[in-house]
Amino acid sequence: MPPNLQSIAVADAALRAQLADYAARQPEHAALADEFSTLLDDPENPFLRQRLAGHFTGSAWLVSTDGQRVLLTHHRKLDRWLQLGGHADGERDLAQVALKEAEEESGLGGLVLEDGGLFDIDKHWIPARHDVPGHWHYDARYVVRALGSEQFALSEESLALAWRQITDVANAMIDTPDGDDSLPRMAKRWLQR
């Protein structure tokens, strides 16, 4: 097997193992984890945003040093409060995608990816915008911790950034306008760890 194909196989096997572990820990998401694993086998590269039938993204549940707050972005294009994250753009290690996106979108240094594998997975619809048709994001979410300064810098992707108490996210953001329950789900999961 050529070296490039070998590294792809290793990366895909690692993600498949993370998904299996996640499904064992979160049985209510087992069918979705299977759907993510099936996407890995698609002949059209699911790590590229050009695959408009759906593609992988990586996100960060970016917590403060003490683990009491999470940094959220008011996403410019979607006009919603979300966790930091973005497209894989060919990178098959979605944990590294999550870390890179957290660094780029927050301007924070001293971020570390926590052990523990996948924290959450989510499949959500992205509406059509300009010349890009609507499509699915298969989002793999990882815990990233801020160990340095919490003074963030706003990037062009955000209308705003804010540190929010995780207890507030768990309790006050349950009914989002579009029915997305992933932020409160992650907050509750974090509080139950």
Tell me the per-residue pLDDT of 136-167, one tens digit each, with 9 for 90 and over: 999 999 999 999 999 998 888 888 999 999 99
**Is residue 62 scored above 70 in pLDDT?**
yes
SS3 assignment, position 135: strand
75 Cβ contact list (under 8 Å, min separation 6): 81, 82, 157, 158, 159
Tokens of 148: 């340095």
Q: Tell me, what CATH number does 134's domain have?
A: 3.90.79.10
- The mean pLDDT of 76-84, rounded to a whole number, is 88
Q: Could you give the CA distance from residue 46 to residue 137 in angstroms, rounded to a whole number?
A: 10
- The mean pLDDT of 68-81, rounded to a whole number, is 90
Q: How many domains does the chain divide into?
A: 1
- The mean pLDDT of 11-15, rounded to a whole number, is 92
- Name the pLDDT band for 9 (thresholds 50, 70, 90): confident
Tokens of 161: 């950034």
Structural domain boundaries, residue 119: 3-192
**Is residue 3 scored above 70 in pLDDT?**
no
The residue among 27, 39, 18 whose CA lies nearest residue 137 is 39
Q: Could you give the CA distance from residue 20 to residue 33 in angstroms, rounded to a whole number?
A: 7
- The mean pLDDT of 61-89, rounded to a whole number, is 93
Q: Could you give the CA distance from residue 76 to residue 156 in angstroms, rounded to a whole number?
A: 8
Instruction: Report the b/e string of 107-125 with b at 16+ CB within 10 A.
Output: ebeebeeeeebbbbbbeee
- Taking the alpha carbons at both ends of the chain, their separation in whole angstroms is 41
Q: Could you give the CA distance from residue 40 to residue 38 in angstroms, rounded to a whole number?
A: 5
- Name the pLDDT band for 101 (thresholds 50, 70, 90): very high
Q: How far is CA 67 from the centre of its chain?
A: 18
The residue among 70, 136, 56 whose CA lies nearest residue 102 is 70
**Is residue 171 scored above 70 in pLDDT?**
yes
Q: Could you give the CA distance from residue 153 to residue 111 in angstroms, rounded to a whole number?
A: 14
Q: What is the pTM of this model?
A: 0.92
Q: Could you give the CA distance from residue 162 to residue 104 in angstroms, rounded to a whole number?
A: 15
